[in-house]
Chains A and B, each alone.
Chain A
């Protein structure tokens, strides 16, 4: 199979390498604002930061809130409620890596909402939380 690659014409190979680079980039990078707007469009409603803060800090009838691991105002390092492992700040202005990769954001919303609420969060809840996080500035 290596032979068939070696026999590819140079222009063909350039095309292959370009598509490989694209595939490596893989997960699309976006900005936190784009991700918030994506959730708002799905929800069909304007996100509300105050509602997001309320949602983030409430226990929803069980043991944990989002704050249990991320802190009441997630601008500083949090701490996992079970393992004690430090968790880097969640607010994008305090951690440039947050809310950049839609698939990663979705994965953690799915897991953490399930742990806190026993269900997935709605698009409107995600938009509200992110709207609030975006108001937190140094």
Chain B
């Protein structure tokens, strides 16, 4: 295994190069890393870091084996691969004086404000089912995109 040392260096160099692109893009919002999309979108949309404060993300990531009534457990190495992205880009204290109830995006004030036009009966439609099912209305929620041009409320 005498090639393993330079091999590690090569991996590190790759990681540094990747980190460089992220930090130069940090002025804008860095897009969700593929590992996050792979691990956190099996059961629902790709929620974005700014949608909750860091304290909420921290609690959520600490409780994945009992995550809103389901087992969403992940091994530590996989978790470490996207945890910094979620925490570093979380919503700030100004936007979240207190964490939303149950650390839910759907209980955050900004969420209620953005969706104030939607009636309670609309959320209950079979094609929607749950407020957390962002993808029912936001066509690219799987990719973490929620722009207003791509919204369509199903009948």
A108 contact set on B, CB distance < 8 A: 42
A79: nearest chain-B partner, CB-CB: B129
Q: Check B133 against A84 for contact (C-beta < 8 Å).
A: yes
Report how many residues on chain B are interfacial, defined by Cβ distance under 8 Å.
25
B45: nearest chain-A partner, CB-CB: A85
B-contacting 9-mer, from A11-19, A37-45, A127-135 = A11-19
A20 contact set on B, CB distance < 8 A: 7, 10-11
B6 interface hit (Cβ, 8 Å): yes
A111 interface hit (Cβ, 8 Å): yes
Q: Is the interface on chain A under 10, 10 to 19, 20 to 34, or 35 or more residues?
A: 20 to 34
B-contacting 9-mer, from A1-9, A53-61, A90-98 = A1-9
Q: Which of A72-115 contact B (CB under 8 A)?
A: 79-80, 82-86, 108, 110-112, 114-115
Once A111-B70, A111-B71, A115-B71 are accepted as A-B contacts, the answer to whether A85 and B44 lie under 8 Å apart by CB is yes
Instruction: Kindly identify which residue among A2, A23, A114 contacts B13, using a CB–CB cutoff of 8 Å.
Output: A2
| Binary interface encoding of chain B residues 103-144 relative to chain A, with 1 for a CB under 8 A from any of its CBs, else 0 | 000000000000000000000000011101101100000000
Chain A residues at the B interface, C-beta cutoff of 8 Å: 1-2, 4-5, 8, 12, 15-16, 19-20, 23, 79-80, 82-86, 108, 110-112, 114-115
